[in-house]
Amino acid sequence: MINDFASASQACLAFLRERLGFRSWMVTRTEGEDWIVLSADDEGYGIKAGQVFRWSDTCCSRMVLGQGPNVAPDAREVPVYARSPFGRQFDIGAYIGVPLRRADGSLFGTLCAIDPRPQPSGIVEEQPMLELMAGLLGSLLSAELAGAGALRRAERAETEAMRDPLTHLYNRRGWTMLLNREEERCQRYGHPACVVSIDVDDIQWINETEGDAAGDMLLERAGVALTSLARGSDVVARLDGDEFAMLLMECDIYDGRAMLQRVEATLAHYGVKASLGVAVRQPGYDLNETFALADAEMAAAKRSRKTLN
């Protein structure tokens, strides 16, 4: 049944291969300098969903800028396609590319195809049909993205019982469930995301010298500080003891580093010292692996602080 963007993309690619041939058909997402393959119907090139190429290297980047045609029966006769690093990496005799756009008109990615052999010149007459297919996929994508907020709210309601009683943040079970749900969306749409790992310093010493109540107050202040920074789509959790984590959606590494500075400053404002780490989800790495990388950076920061002290 075709009821979502992912299944519609696969059905579209299968239809286009049957109608027009071409060795490789793709639905892609552009994100910064990444060109992410979300869906692929490939025979011969070895291109698979999840692969990432440099956007500025591709024929599609030139097509979007209007430097080359949407349909090139002989791509070798189009200098910007023939000279592109992607065109040199793969044997491209013919190229097709049309933009996929969000509801606001911004570029999401492309619907494209390549083949090692030049194709008949009459294939250019298929461009209106290709643009129609891209428009339909873009409409379905926009509807799904518009509904993402409601879906996240439903997921938050589902995990409402998975709260830490002290800080009222999500506990580890809630964190794991929401992390995995967001990973599904990242795979489907190519969303960027960052994970921040936070470990509150000196909690054991405070518990021993000032009492458990003082330690609990410190953890509560940490929870309030982190919550104050979170957007509606973000997830903040207390995992165990003095360990906290944040999942930041639609966030690249530059945003993640900026958030790390804000987290550190806000925690300090609340009188909380902590060791921090951040990692950005890269295509090919899931959010659990991203969390592990952030946790490793946090642990390295903690060791460094101990060495300095």
Residue 53 in tokens: 């190429």
Whether 170 and 290 share a structural domain: yes
Whether 96 and 164 share a structural domain: no
> Please, which residues have CB within 8 angstroms of residue 266's CB and are 6 or more apart in sequence?
225, 226, 228, 229
Whether 141 and 244 share a structural domain: no
Whether 26 and 100 share a structural domain: yes
Kindly give the confidence (pLDDT) of every residue in the chain, 309 residues in length, as a single tens digit, with 9 standing for 90 and above: 567 888 999 999 999 999 999 999 999 999 888 899 999 999 989 999 888 899 999 999 999 999 999 999 999 999 999 999 988 888 899 999 999 998 889 999 999 999 999 999 999 999 999 999 999 999 988 888 877 777 777 887 788 888 999 999 999 999 999 999 999 888 888 888 999 999 998 888 888 888 889 888 999 999 999 999 998 889 999 998 899 999 998 888 888 889 999 999 999 999 999 999 999 998 778 999 999 999 999 999 888 776 665
* Residue 142 maps to a domain: yes
Q: Which of 146, 169, 195 is the last residue of a domain?
A: 146
Whether 297 and 178 share a structural domain: yes
Whether 142 and 163 share a structural domain: no
Whether 127 and 221 share a structural domain: no
Number of domains observed in the structure of the chain: 2
**Which residue, among 64, 99, 105, 108, has the nearest Cα to 84 in the 3D structure?**
64
CATH code for position 120: 3.30.450.40
Whether 197 and 61 share a structural domain: no
* Residue 116 maps to a domain: yes
Whether 176 and 273 share a structural domain: yes
Q: Which of 146, 175, 191 is the last residue of a domain?
A: 146
Separation CA 18–CA 144 (nearest Å): 27
Whether 189 and 93 share a structural domain: no
* Residue 84 maps to a domain: yes
CATH code for position 229: 3.30.70.270
- The HSE-up count of residue 48 (CA atoms within 13 Å, CB side) is 4
User: Domain limits at 290?
Assistant: 159-308
* Residue 278 maps to a domain: yes
* Residue 154 maps to a domain: no
Separation CA 212–CA 205 (nearest Å): 10
Whether 92 and 191 share a structural domain: no
> Please, which residues have CB within 8 angstroms of residue 200's CB and are 6 or more apart in sequence?
218, 219, 222, 242, 243, 244, 272, 273, 274
* Residue 153 maps to a domain: no
Q: Which of 146, 172, 189 is the last residue of a domain?
A: 146
